[in-house]
Amino acid sequence: MPPRTRRSEALTRQRIVDAAIELLDTTGDAGLTFRTLTERLATGPGAIYWHVANKGELLAAATEALVTAALPADLPGGIHGVALGLFDAISAHPWLATQLATQLSRSPSKSVTPLIFEAIGREVRALDVPDGDQFIAASALLHYILGAAGQNAANARVAGSGTERAEFLNSVSKAWEQLDPDDYPFTRAVAAQMREHDDREQFLAGIDLILAGITARER
């Protein structure tokens, strides 16, 4: 039996999804094709199509795999744990932000959206939010988490990491400080905070603001 046939028979959907995630991490959505995937897996396209019908299904499966890993059933930390789980997953896999936004808008009934909404909603219910306000509260948290995490991932791609990020934030901060004080009094006033902020701390502070609003609303 030829070696390629043996490899094809050993191919699984999980192996395909794992390889797709690796390609997405290194090349982005545009770099994920069935041709590059067959080369990565050393198999033929027919073996892949046996497990995955098309690129859309493959992207959905890769997205679901990462979200499932980010939100295990025993995840500690309450809503902060859920938020950080998604934040860190999107930071590690920047393409995930676009896929989550796409699935949220186009396929809200598919598995990944209910999975995230359920994780957030359980924590909202644990806060004793009245039934009539739970959907609003969970939706506000959902949109903040995905939006803020996605924006952070986009910023990270531009700024780089380590010294590059510090230099990028410093340059933005200096540019803000040079704005017209009459037109941009607030932006100039917070320029130093832009230079010094920590992304994860800022993200969690936003969660706390939303939770404080939920609490105040119920009072």
Q: What is the CATH number of the domain that holds 174?
A: 1.10.357.10
Q: Please tell me which residue, 153 or 118, carries the higher pLDDT value.
A: 118
Cα separations (Å) of 87 from 39, 82, 165, 203? 31, 9, 18, 8
Q: Are residues 80 and 127 in the same domain?
A: yes
DSSP conformational letter for 108 = T
Q: What is the CATH number of the domain that holds 11?
A: 1.10.10.60
The domain tally of the chain equals 2
Q: Are residues 34 and 101 in the same domain?
A: no
Cα separations (Å) of 29 from 16, 25, 90, 116? 15, 9, 14, 22
Q: Summarize pLDDT for 163-209 with one digit per residue, the tens.
A: 788 888 889 999 999 999 999 999 999 999 988 888 999 999 999 99
Q: Summarize pLDDT for 113-129 with one digit per residue, the tens.
A: 999 999 999 999 999 99
Would you state the torsion angle of the CA atoms of residues 159, 95, 67, 58, taken in this order, to the nearest 10 degrees?
-160
Q: Are residues 135 and 176 in the same domain?
A: yes
* Boundaries of domain holding 37: 3-52
Q: Are residues 80 and 108 in the same domain?
A: yes
Residue found under tokens 């794992």? 18
Q: Are residues 87 and 18 in the same domain?
A: no
- In a domain, residue 200? The reply is yes
| pTM for the whole structure | 0.86
